[in-house]
Amino acid sequence: MSRTHSPTPTGTTAGTALRCLAAVAVFTGGLVHLQLYLHGYRSLPDADLGRSFVLNAVASTVVAVALIARTDTAVRLAGMAVSVGTLGAFAMSRVGDGVFGLREHGLQPSPQAAIALVAEVAALLLLALTFIPTIGAGERPSARLVLPAAAAVVLVAVAAGTWWDHTASAAASPADASTGAGGDTPSAPGSVEVKDFAFHPAHVTVHVGDTVTWTNHDQFSHSVVDKAGTFRSDPITPGHTFQHTFDAAGTYTYFCGIHPSMTATVVVTG
Ligand SMILES: [Cu+2]
């Protein structure tokens, strides 16, 4: 309340801590975008979507490094701008037609969406606090500290990324160990594999009364939605399946309700 308190050295320390925590949060958001790009979104047909994820990762890294090394108002505002932009894209990708043909739902993909959401909100709040006069932006770290700190952050990021990768791959293909090394094993006529943001094969032919099974081998949730509305799955999480039995002959064009650019057909013969 009162502004008669003297600006204490603890205020400076708090400012430094806020700035560094914000840098970690911004960097975390960027890493999530890079991970999403490397493990799937680059496979989407719309290249602008992939580019926007890489751009986010690059901008986040640059801003994170600048936040640790500098106390400038411009750098802190840039950090807030990256967070606001990311949160805006997050919101836009969850309404209407989404962004660049990508329509996500709630906190999918999990856990990336939740991690990024928390990181961006945290960065925004932490940086906002540095604009309170009694807290301030803290001190610039000595040059001797910046390099070891940056190296430690990169090491932790790489280790976490490797572990995450390993875990996510295992989750996506629990029963797939026998076919993994041999490449694409020809599947039964009624089975479709969902992988790398595509349905494999894109065209299957079955008979009336046959059941088609979709298995999600991706690290992201997908769904199966008939264009004509005769069937519709819930989001199929990695490693899970959806089945539909076709009772009438015809050509069924379907798409992924989460990534509508993913389309394929089932031809049912009588
Ligand atoms: Cu999909």
Q: Using one digit for the tens of pLDDT, what is the confidence trace for 215-270?
A: 999 888 899 999 999 999 998 988 999 999 999 999 999 999 888 888 999 999 98
CA of 30 to the centre of ligand 1 (A): 22
CA of 252 to the centre of ligand 1 (A): 17
**Residue 235 gets which letter from DSSP?**
P
CA of 97 to the centre of ligand 1 (A): 14
What value does the mean pLDDT of the chain take? 84
What is the pLDDT at residue 137?
86
Q: Look at residue 128 and tell me whether its pLDDT is greater than 70.
A: yes
Question: Percentage of the chain with pLDDT > 90?
Answer: 49
CA of 112 to the centre of ligand 1 (A): 15
CA of 122 to the centre of ligand 1 (A): 29
Q: Look at residue 197 and tell me whether its pLDDT is greater than 90.
A: no
CA of 236 to the centre of ligand 1 (A): 9
CA of 171 to the centre of ligand 1 (A): 17
CA of 257 to the centre of ligand 1 (A): 7
What is the pLDDT at residue 48?
82
CA of 148 to the centre of ligand 1 (A): 41
CA of 92 to the centre of ligand 1 (A): 17
Residues in Cβ contact with 112 at an 8 Å cutoff, skipping those fewer than 6 apart? 32, 35, 36
Q: Look at residue 181 and tell me whether its pLDDT is greater than 50.
A: no
What is the pLDDT at residue 9?
46
Question: Per residue in 82-94, pLDDT tens?
Answer: 999 999 999 998 8
* Average pLDDT of span 139-143: 78
| Of 73-82, 151-160, 206-215, 261-270, the least confident | 151-160
CA of 260 to the centre of ligand 1 (A): 7
Write b or e for each residue in 62-97: b if 16 or more Cβ atoms lie within 10 A of its Cβ, otherwise e: ebbbbbbbebeeebbebbbebbeebbebbebbbeee
What is the pLDDT at residue 176?
44
What is the pLDDT at residue 7?
46
CA of 258 to the centre of ligand 1 (A): 5
CA distance 250 to 270: 8
CA of 193 to the centre of ligand 1 (A): 12
CA of 75 to the centre of ligand 1 (A): 37
| Of 109-118, 123-132, 179-188, 193-202, the least confident | 179-188
Residues in Cβ contact with 156 at an 8 Å cutoff, skipping those fewer than 6 apart? none
Answer yes or no: pTM beyond 0.85.
Answer: no
CA of 256 to the centre of ligand 1 (A): 5
* Average pLDDT of span 13-32: 92
What is the pLDDT at residue 101?
67
Say which CATH class 191-269 falls into.
Answer: mainly beta
What is the pLDDT at residue 182?
39
What is the pLDDT at residue 260?
80
* Average pLDDT of span 21-44: 88
CA of 103 to the centre of ligand 1 (A): 9
CA of 223 to the centre of ligand 1 (A): 6
- Of 6-10, 156-160, 233-237, highest mean pLDDT: 233-237
* Average pLDDT of span 20-47: 86
CA of 25 to the centre of ligand 1 (A): 28
φ, ψ (nearest 5 deg) of residue 40: 160, -50
CA angle 131, 128, 144 (to 5 degrees): 75
